[in-house]
Amino acid sequence: MSRKLCNLQRIVVAAPKYIERHGVPVTLQGLDRHDCLLWQPPMDHLNRWPFMIGGQRQDILVRGGFCSSDRTSLFQMCVAGVGIMRLAEHLALPAIRSEVLVPLLVDDQATDDTAIHVLFMPERRLVPRVRAFVDYLSQVFRTPPWEADAGTR
C-alpha cells in the first residue's frame, strides 16, 4: 500500500563559481554548450530534462563530463562548481536560499510528475502504530519541510 505525501520537483541549478567561469545558459540551446552533471544507469533517465518549448513539454538530453549513480557526489560536484545539475527541490531550495546554488532557466522548466510516498504492508486492519506513523508523515509533509523553511529565513 502507498500514500502520497507530497509532490517533488527538480530545479536546474549551478554554483556561482561555475557561472563565473562559464556564464549562464540564457536559452535552452545554450545549455548544450555547458557541462551538465549526469546520472549513470539505472538513473540515466534523469539526464533528460523536461522543459516547456512553445507551450509543449520536451525532454532535452543533456551532456557533460562527470557521471555518477550517487546523488551526494553529484550534489557535491555541483556545489564545487563542476557543472549544472537538475536537483530535487528538497536539496535545491535550501542551497538556493543560502546562495550556495543559483536556479537557472526557471521560466522554461516543466513540472515533474514525481512525488514522495510512504509505503506500508497491506493488512486487513492497519496496525495502530503504522497508522499513527503514516498519519504523522502525512501531517509533516502537508507543507514539505523544504518549503516550510522558506518562511523562517
- Which residue ranges does the chain devote to CATH 3.40.190.10? 9-111
Of 108, 34, 36, 100, the residue nearest 74 (C-alpha): 36
**Class of domain 9-111 as given by CATH:** alpha beta
**Residue 39: Cβ within 10 Å count:** 18
DSSP bridge pairs for 88: 10
Q: Cα(76)–Cα(140) distance, rounded to whole angstroms?
A: 27
pLDDT tens series, the chain, 153 aa: 899 999 999 999 999 999 999 999 988 888 989 999 999 999 999 999 999 999 999 999 999 999 999 999 999 999 999 999 999 999 999 999 999 999 999 999 998 888 999 998 887 778 889 889 999 999 999 988 888 766 544
